[in-house]
Structure formats: C-alpha cells, structure tokens
Amino acid sequence: MKKALAFDIGGTKIYSTIIDENGKILAEIDKFHTPKTIEGIKEVLTNQILRFENEIDVIAISTAGAVNNENTAVIGSTGNLVKNYRTINFQELSSKKVFLENDANCAAWAEYKIGASQNTSVSVMLTLGTGVGGGIIINNRLLKGKSGAAGEMHFKMFTDKRRKCTCGSWDCFEIYASGTALKLDAEEALHNQDVTTYDVIDGVKKGDKKMTEIFERWQNDITQGIIGLANLFDPDCIVLSGSMAQFVNTKKVEDEVNRNIVTTPTSIRLASAGNYSGMIGAALLAMGGSN
Amino acid sequence: MKKALAFDIGGTKIYSTIIDENGKILAEIDKFHTPKTIEGIKEVLTNQILRFENEIDVIAISTAGAVNNENTAVIGSTGNLVKNYRTINFQELSSKKVFLENDANCAAWAEYKIGASQNTSVSVMLTLGTGVGGGIIINNRLLKGKSGAAGEMHFKMFTDKRRKCTCGSWDCFEIYASGTALKLDAEEALHNQDVTTYDVIDGVKKGDKKMTEIFERWQNDITQGIIGLANLFDPDCIVLSGSMAQFVNTKKVEDEVNRNIVTTPTSIRLASAGNYSGMIGAALLAMGGSN
C-alpha cells in the first residue's frame, strides 16, 4: 500500500505524519512552531523528509494559501505566514514527488473520502476558525477555478461598507462567520474590547440572554451565507469544520436554510474526519488524484 | 449535419426554429404567445413538431425553470408560466428525443460554444432582465448541482431584511441586480411609484444627476455581487446578458471587481451569441452534450 509523508503548514504550527492511501495515520503526529523565515520552514520540512523519505511514495502538503492548478506552488494570500512563503520551491526539497493543496480544500477532500460528505457528488465545506476557509467539491472534483484559488468565502453580507474584512474589502462572509467575527459581534453589542469568543460561548451555556443574542446573530449570519451557497451550488450537503463549528446548531441552521432556498433541500453536517483532516486530504489527493 | 428543432419557452413568448450542430439558425424564428394552460403549451409544441419532425434529429427546449439532471423535466420554480407546467411530459410529444435545459444554462452554453466565453474553462453568465438568471460552467461542464437547480442567483446582498425577493426570501442578488431592481431603486430614491427603468436610462443619457446616482447604485450592487462570485468560482470571465446588460459599464465593473477580490483577475464581458442564445445553447447541448 502506498504511503505519503504528510505536512500541514499553518501560520502558527507545522504538523507532520505518515498516511496510507486509505487515509489511515500510521505514525506519531510531529509538531513544530512555524518558523518566521522561509529558510526555517524549509529546514523543518527537510529534516522530516530526510527521516522518512525512504519509507514513503509521495510528499503531501496541506498549506495555508491558494495553490495553483498544478499543485506545485502557493499563489494566493497566506495570512500570517512569512511574506515570501510562496517563493519556496517545494519540489526541490525531495527526489520524491511533492504535492501541495490548500488546507481547506484538503480538509474538504478528507470529508468527501472518509468523513461527513462521503457518497455525495456536490458539497461545500466551511472551516469556521480564526478565519473562514472553503472547499467545494463538484461532480467528485475539487472546484479550483482558472488559477486554483476558487472557494474563497469572500462574498458580501452587506453592500454598504460596515465591517472591514481581513482581505482588504468590506463585509465578506469571513468577517461575519469566523471566530474573529463572533468576537467583533460581542465587542459591538457590549461596547467592550476585552470580551472573547470564550466569554460568549460560556455565557450561552449559562443561559445569559445577552450572550445568547450575540451568538444567535453570529449563527444567523452563517445561515444567511449558506442560503446563498445552497442556491448557487445545489449541494448534497454543507459540512462545517474548524474550531467554531462545534457550537453551531446544525439542525436549526439546516431548517432555516431549507425554508429560504429555491433549490432542493440540503443537509448541514459537522465534519467527522478529525483534527488531521488537512493532512489526510492532502495524502489522499496526492496518492489518488482529485477524481 | 445533425439538426435540432429548438424551442424557447418563457412566461410570455414561445420561440421555435431549426438549429444545426454548429449553432447556426437554419429557419425562420416562429413566435407564439405562451398559452395559459398546459394543454395550450402542448398544442404549440405539437404543431411545430408535426411540421418539422421528419427534418430533425432531436428536439431541444430552453425553458424557464430549473431542469433535472436527466434533462427530461422541469423541477423548480417557473415564474409566470402556468402553475402545473412542470407536470408536462415533454418526451411523449415526439418519437424523437426531447432534451430540456434551463434557459439561463442554455444561454451560458451558447456563449461558451460560440459567444463571449469561448475558449474558457470556468465562466459565470448573468442574465439581467426582469429577473436575474445564472449559468455557471466549470471545467467545460454546466454546474447543475445534486438536482439540476444550481446557478440560482439568490445570495444575500444584505442580511437584515430590507427588500423582499420574488423567491419569497429577502435581499437576494436578483432583487438588486435585475431590471425590476433598478425600478425599485428609482422608486425608493424618488418616492414615485410611476418611474420606469426607461426613465432612469433616459435620464442617465441626458446627464441627469439624480438618475445617474440611481443607476450607479444599481451598477454597484451588480459589482458587489460579482465580487462574491469571482472569489467563489475564480472564473476566466463573467458574461452579462439579457435586456439590461447593454447599460452596464463593463470596464468600470471589471476594474472595481478586480480591486476587491482575493482570487486572480477576471474579465467582465457582454454576451455575444445573440437574442436566440437560449435556443442555440439548447440545440448544442442536445446534439453535443455538456462536455
């Protein structure tokens, strides 16, 4: 059975392990702080590659940032990764094939192959974390677009410039549906810069009326965004992943979405492929292809 | 060379002609008022079929309403067509194969094959008329979704319930980007129910400041919607068709879109496949398949 040396490269941590072509994790999860230089990042990757290169068939990297259609280079914004990250030539780090894909796309692929969207042909995955990631699968292929950057969840929630988005534009879904957005909602409602997403979630659990209102606003914004996605893609399901997904009442969102769409009813599901779905998806894509 | 008997069935008119597999129109365009009963609609179709059935290979119908993935039946909302329109069994009208597709999808396919989006692999077409239609092509295939209803341009422009959409939900792109929307914009700005889209367009041509502001708001709403579509699909181009498209400053919209997206620059183009692109697209799909 084929095996991949998998990496997940994010703004704060790099993870690495060995994964087989069924998506099974075969080794310990190695964990590193993401270095602040590209030399540092290359060193972390090279050390792992030297350790495992003889045992594996391919190197599979789930990374922050958009990845080109050839799966060889990062082309888009990479958030808090070092600025010239996209200049790294990943292939020159190994004689084995090095495959890259965007982390949200990898996670969506893992859900499709071994998780919540198995046996569907059209699905949308939303990663609700500090930001919002998107991975869209259509007719059993990742939606990549002309350059590889498709699936960016930056569509408008208002068109009259209320809240600046991290992307530089205004009022994108990301800045209303992320964990950051929940904190902003709470700051605005309470006129208090120190409130955290934890305070809101904790307040909801304790039955606090104000915190519940803030949370419901955030959940409703997610719902409104999903209505648009459901009308555009007519998906079998929409999968919610990321650290904030667990707090969403999927049944409530699903009912509201299905009352407001012109397409046929869809299903809202929590991700089930686990914390390392990025690496699993990257490995499955690298060994099986996006078909 | 293969030939199709093509129909375009809309809320007010039914058109029909003969089209070859290159998309060339070979006969006169026959034109009928759309009957208000399904028996009446079937009669119009049957008369044309009896006239031309021996000359053609397939019957290709561009129709209002979503069409299933088998291209045999209408499944979704059909606007102002007779209510039980979707109960029509189109195949039983002829011994030749009867192929159906949604009119916006057909028009998008015509643009892709012989019009403005030729030689692209990812494109979004918006039909700006009384309503807004959408046809999306990804990797040289129509985006149909799980049921066939994908490509509906009902994503939110506001999330605080300002303007009721024709679909029953609130603040969809359609109700800010259609001709109807331009009239609503003008009614709101001028506190006058009698103003028409023609008044606005005429005012813009004459340099009227208020009418120009109203028009600019409408064009900006289209721009804001396209920003979201460009981030989701990363398309080679976005094609504008329909009776309202001619008034849009595509260069201005393109510049504004490309300043506000995280994906790579896209191109905004006017449709070029002509007034009968629905029938042409239906014929090309029926004879060539969506590949």
Which CATH number fits the domain that encloses residue B72?
Answer: 3.30.420.40
Asked if residue A112 is part of any domain, the answer here is no
B254 & B136 share domain: yes
Closest residue on chain A to B259 (Cα)? A169
B73 & B22 share domain: yes
Instruction: Give the closest-approach CA distance of B266 to chain A in angstroms.
Output: 9
- Which chain B residues have a beta carbon less than 8 Å from that of A143? 138, 233
Closest residue on chain A to B266 (Cα)? A146
Closest residue on chain B to A121 (Cα)? B146
Q: Let me know the angle formed at the C-alpha of A223 by A218 and A225, rounded to the nearest 5 degrees.
A: 100
Residue A7 phi/psi, 5-degree rounding, is -125, 150
Q: CA dist A168 to A21, B234, B260, Å?
A: 39, 18, 7
Asked if residue B218 is part of any domain, the answer here is yes
3-state secondary structure of B100: strand
Residue A232 phi/psi, 5-degree rounding, is -75, -45
Asked if residue B114 is part of any domain, the answer here is no
Q: Flag if A147 and B264 touch (Cβ within 8 Å).
A: yes
CA dist B235 and B121 (Å) reads 8
Instruction: Give the closest-approach CA distance of B170 to chain A in angstroms.
Output: 9
The per-residue pLDDT for range B216-270, each reduced to its tens digit, is 999 999 999 999 999 999 999 999 999 999 999 999 999 999 999 999 999 999 9
CB B155 within 8 Å of CB A228: yes
| Contacts of residue A182, Cβ cutoff 8 Å, sequence gap at least 6 | A197, A200, A214, A215, A218, A244
- Which chain A residues have a beta carbon less than 8 Å from that of B176? 159
Distance of CA B154 to the CA centre of its chain: 14
- Interior/surface letters A225-247, b for 16+ CB within 10 angstroms, e for the rest: bbbbbbbbbbbbbbbbbbebbeb
B129 & B99 share domain: no
Asked if residue B113 is part of any domain, the answer here is no
* Tokens describing residue B254: 């393109």
- Which chain B residues have a beta carbon less than 8 Å from that of A236? 146
Please give the pLDDT value at position B291.
47
Three-state secondary structure readout of B166-218: CCCCECECHHHHCHHHHHHHHHHHHCCCCCCHHHHHHHHHCCCHHHHHHHHHH
Asked if residue B112 is part of any domain, the answer here is no
Which among A253, A242, A241 has a CA at the least distance from the CA of A216? A253
A52 & A145 share domain: no
A136 & A70 share domain: no
CB A269 within 8 Å of CB A250: yes
A167 & A248 share domain: yes
- Whether the pTM exceeds 0.90: the reply is yes
CA dist A45 and A9 (Å) reads 10
**In sequence order, what are the beta bridge partners of B224?**
none
B84 & B215 share domain: no
Closest residue on chain A to B256 (Cα)? A169
A80 & A218 share domain: no
Which among B159, B176, B262 is the nearest to A154, CB-wise? B262
A35: DSSP letter: P
Instruction: Give the closest-approach CA distance of A280 to chain B in angstroms.
Output: 24
CB B67 within 8 Å of CB B75: yes
Which among A287, A230, A239, A237 has a CA at the least distance from the CA of A259? A230
- Which chain A residues have a beta carbon less than 8 Å from that of B260? 168-169
Q: Flag if A227 and B158 touch (Cβ within 8 Å).
A: no
Closest residue on chain B to A232 (Cα)? B151
CB B215 within 8 Å of CB B247: yes
B220 residue type, one letter: N
Please give the pLDDT value at position A216.
98
- What is chain B's percent helix, strand, coil content, to nearest 5? 40, 20, 40
Domain total in chain B: 2
Q: Flag if B231 and A155 touch (Cβ within 8 Å).
A: yes
Where are the alpha helices (H) located in chain A, listed in sequence order? 38-52, 103-114, 174-177, 179-190, 197-205, 209-233, 250-259, 277-288
CA dist B77 and A263 (Å) reads 9
CB pairs under 8 A between A and B: 161
Q: Flag if B150 and A232 touch (Cβ within 8 Å).
A: yes
User: Domain range spanning residue B211?
Assistant: 119-270
Which among A45, A130, A103 has a CA at the least distance from the CA of A281? A103
* Tokens describing residue B153: 């341009």
Which among A144, A47, A69 has a CA at the least distance from the CA of A104? A144
Q: Flag if A234 and B146 touch (Cβ within 8 Å).
A: yes
Instruction: Give the closest-approach CA distance of A255 to chain B in angstroms.
Output: 14
* Tokens describing residue A272: 């089930």
Instruction: Give the closest-approach CA distance of A172 to chain B in angstroms.
Output: 8
Three-state secondary structure readout of B9-57: ECCCEEEEEEEECCCCECCCCEEEECCCCHHHHHHHHHHHHHHHHHHCC
Through-space distance between the first and last CA atoms of chain A, rounded to whole angstroms: 19
Strand A267-270: give its sheet, edge to edge.
A141-142, A132-138, A122-128, A237-241, A267-270
Closest residue on chain A to B136 (Cα)? A232
A69 & A182 share domain: no
- Which chain B residues have a beta carbon less than 8 Å from that of A120? 146
Q: How many helices (H) and strands (E) does chain B have?
A: 8, 10
Instruction: Give the closest-approach CA distance of A256 to chain B in angstroms.
Output: 11
Q: Specify burial of residue A255 (Cβ count, 10 A radius: 0-12, 13-18, 19+).
A: middle
CA dist B264 and B262 (Å) reads 7
* Tokens describing residue A131: 């930001």
Q: Residue A63 CB: number of other CB atoms within 10 A?
A: 26
Asked if residue A130 is part of any domain, the answer here is yes
CA dist A241 and A127 (Å) reads 5
Please give the pLDDT value at position A76.
76
Q: Specify burial of residue A105 (Cβ count, 10 A radius: 0-12, 13-18, 19+).
A: buried
Asked if residue A66 is part of any domain, the answer here is yes
Instruction: Give the closest-approach CA distance of B147 to chain A in angstroms.
Output: 7
Q: Residue B77 CB: number of other CB atoms within 10 A?
A: 17
Please give the pLDDT value at position A289.
65
Asked if residue B133 is part of any domain, the answer here is yes
A125 & A246 share domain: yes
- Which chain B residues have a beta carbon less than 8 Å from that of A158? 157-160
A12 & A99 share domain: yes
B139 & B261 share domain: yes
Which among B94, B96, B77, B97 has a CA at the least distance from the CA of B85? B77
Which among A77, A173, A262 is the nearest to B152, CB-wise? A262
Q: What parts of chain B have a pLDDT lower than 70?
A: 77, 289-291
Q: Flag if A260 and B169 touch (Cβ within 8 Å).
A: yes
Q: Specify burial of residue B259 (Cβ count, 10 A radius: 0-12, 13-18, 19+).
A: exposed
- Which chain B residues have a beta carbon less than 8 Å from that of A234? 144-152
Closest residue on chain A to B158 (Cα)? A158
- What is the residue-level pLDDT of chain A in tens, covering all 291 positions? 999 999 999 999 999 999 999 999 999 999 999 999 999 999 999 999 999 999 999 999 999 999 999 999 999 767 778 989 999 999 999 999 999 999 999 999 999 999 999 999 999 999 999 999 999 999 999 999 999 999 999 999 999 999 999 999 999 999 999 999 999 999 999 999 999 999 999 999 999 999 999 999 999 999 999 999 999 999 999 999 999 999 999 999 999 999 999 999 999 999 999 999 999 999 999 998 654
- Which chain B residues have a beta carbon less than 8 Å from that of A225? 156
CB B245 within 8 Å of CB B269: no
